[in-house]
Amino acid sequence: MEKIRVGFIGCGGRAGAHMSSFLEMTDEVEVVAVADPVEERRLAAAEKFGCKRIYKDHTELYDHESKETLDALIIAIEPTAHTDTETRAIEKGIPFLIEKPVHIDLEKAEEIGKKIEETGLITAVGFQDRYLDLMDIIKEELPKHKTGGLVYGAWVGGIPGVWWWQKKSTCGGQLVEQNIHLVDGLRYLYGEPLSVYATCSRGIVRPGVDAKEEYDTDDHSTAVIRFSNNVTATLVSGCYSRGVRPRCGLYITLDDMVLDYRLRNNLIISTPDGEKDIPRGVNQTLLLDKAFIAAVRTGDRSLIRSDYADSLKSHRLAFAANKSMETGEVIYF
Ligand SMILES: NC(=O)c1ccc[n+]([C@@H]2O[C@H](COP(=O)([O-])OP(=O)(O)OC[C@H]3O[C@@H](n4cnc5c(N)ncnc54)[C@H](O)[C@@H]3O)[C@@H](O)[C@H]2O)c1
């Protein structure tokens, strides 16, 4: 089997998870090019794979690489760093897996989405939770019960260490940057939303004390999302906790069952007959990467659970929630 030749644009934290996948896939993947403006990061990445094509950024990589030298790209850069990072891949016809959020500016993401549609390029987005065995169980279980009900979703914790998380203008806010995983999870389970209303709050995290001086993102937000079939989800996001681990995940109340999904860890299913606790049994990022590589190899896009076009729907919902936070209005789709 010929190895799929992969390049990395961005060698930071999240890229490291994809690199770990490829270290487990050395019989089918060869990382041949890496790019990052931070020298230590690009060198460390190159060393992992014995890779010789090392670039200082995406521009230098695209100036030297083509469809003939690269079969696929992983784009894992800060939300604000998306410039022509994707359009140059599209022009060159190189399939890419891109991390969420795919852009800080939804309009620009829509333009990129159109270009992808016109060319038919294979893409995948880093919504890793779609590849979880626990998500599969929930997705299979839901249609067996009366439709409708309440969902409580939460992603509450501290402030991630990366510099760009401190400002809403560079991270997009927690819902867009982080809790978009559960936004996407809700769409995966319930389909397209009907409406969203959201609020946000600041004042708990003290800039310069609990966070960097420039901190100006929301400490917490709450989004109420209506879906068809009488499903209402309340999704909370919070980044003000310190030294404690609030419960994160989805808590789904059906007429005769409760599905208590503890974020990327386990699923507790309660029925009138008792309780079953199922631990996560897969490495979902590895499955995401395997699906992308298999799609590149075979052309079978059905293996990819969220491509750029599908991911735009989750981004639209998260950005609409942001708009609702600003305007106080309900946004209808
Ligand atoms: N899917 C997930 O579960 C998951 C988890 C964590 C982060 N993420 C997402 O991944 C993205 C990256 O997050 P991170 O934690 O790795 O951030 P990071 O800051 O650790 O890494 C980003 C890297 O991109 C590099 N970079 C910036 N511009 C570049 C360019 N033009 N060319 C090449 N490299 C460039 C930076 O120098 C940096 O090393 C974010 O969008 C984040 O939301 C996804």
| Per-residue pLDDT tens digits for 208-221 | 999 999 999 999 99
Mean pLDDT of all residues in 60-72:
98
114 CA distance to ligand 1 centroid (A)? 23
| Per-residue pLDDT tens digits for 182-195 | 999 999 999 999 99
149 CA distance to ligand 1 centroid (A)? 36
Per-residue pLDDT at 45: 98
Tell me, using a 6 A CB cutoff, whether residue 289 lines ligand 1.
Answer: no
Tell me, using a 6 A CB cutoff, whether residue 285 lines ligand 1.
Answer: no
> Does position 1 have pLDDT exceeding 80, yes or no?
no
Q: Using 50, 70 and 90 to split pLDDT, how confident is the model at 148?
A: confident
Per-residue pLDDT at 288: 98
Q: Using 50, 70 and 90 to split pLDDT, how confident is the model at 4?
A: very high
Burial per residue of 66-98, b for 16 or more beta-carbon CB atoms within 10 angstroms, e otherwise:
eeeebbbbbbbbbbebbeebbbbbbebebbbbb
Amino acid occupying residue 323: K
Alpha carbon distances (Å) from 78 to 104, 109, 147, 208, 247: 9, 14, 39, 22, 27
Per-residue pLDDT at 302: 97
DSSP E strand boundaries for the chain: 4-9, 29-35, 53-55, 72-75, 96-98, 123-125, 149-156, 193-201, 220-227, 231-238, 249-253, 258-262, 266-271, 274-279, 331-332
pTM for the whole structure: 0.97
> Does position 332 have pLDDT exceeding 90, yes or no?
yes
Tell me, using a 6 A CB cutoff, whether residue 37 lines ligand 1.
Answer: yes
> Does position 90 have pLDDT exceeding 80, yes or no?
yes
Q: Using 50, 70 and 90 to split pLDDT, how confident is the model at 140?
A: very high
Q: Report the chain's mean pLDDT, rounded to a whole number.
A: 97
Q: Please identify which residue in the block is written with the tokens 């990366």.
A: 162
Q: Using 50, 70 and 90 to split pLDDT, how confident is the model at 272?
A: very high
For the chain, the first-to-last Cα distance in angstroms comes to 46
Per-residue pLDDT at 106: 98
> Does position 234 have pLDDT exceeding 80, yes or no?
yes
16 CA distance to ligand 1 centroid (A)? 10
Cα(94)–Cα(114) distance, integer angstroms: 16
Tell me, using a 6 A CB cutoff, whether residue 162 lines ligand 1.
Answer: yes
Q: Please identify which residue in the block is written with the tokens 């609409």.
A: 320
Whether the CB-CB separation of 262 and 268 falls below 8 Å is answered with yes
Q: Going from the N-terminus, what domains does the chain have, and what CATH number goes with each?
A: 4-121 (3.40.50.720), 129-282+317-332 (3.30.360.10)
Q: Please identify which residue in the block is written with the tokens 């060698």.
A: 11
Q: Which two tokens stand for residue 42?
A: 């690009």
> Does position 228 have pLDDT exceeding 90, yes or no?
yes
> Does position 293 have pLDDT exceeding 80, yes or no?
yes
Mean pLDDT of all residues in 92-96:
98
Q: Using 50, 70 and 90 to split pLDDT, how confident is the model at 322?
A: very high
Amino acid occupying residue 201: S
215 CA distance to ligand 1 centroid (A)? 19
Helix (H, G, I), strand (E, B) or coil at 8: strand
Tell me, using a 6 A CB cutoff, whether residue 77 lines ligand 1.
Answer: yes
Cα(27)–Cα(175) distance, integer angstroms: 38
CA nearest neighbour of 73 among 292, 287, 308, 302: 292
Per-residue pLDDT at 147: 82
> Does position 286 have pLDDT exceeding 80, yes or no?
yes
Q: Using 50, 70 and 90 to split pLDDT, how confident is the model at 92?
A: very high
Tell me which residue has its CA closest to atom 5 in ligand 1: 14
Cα(139)–Cα(312) distance, integer angstroms: 21
Amino acid occupying residue 163: W
**Choice from 14, 21, 84, 164 to test ligand 1 binding pocket (greatest atom count within 8 A of CB):** 14
Q: Taking phi first (over 0 means left), then psi (-120 to 50 degrees means alpha), and beta for anything else, what does residue 192 get?
A: beta
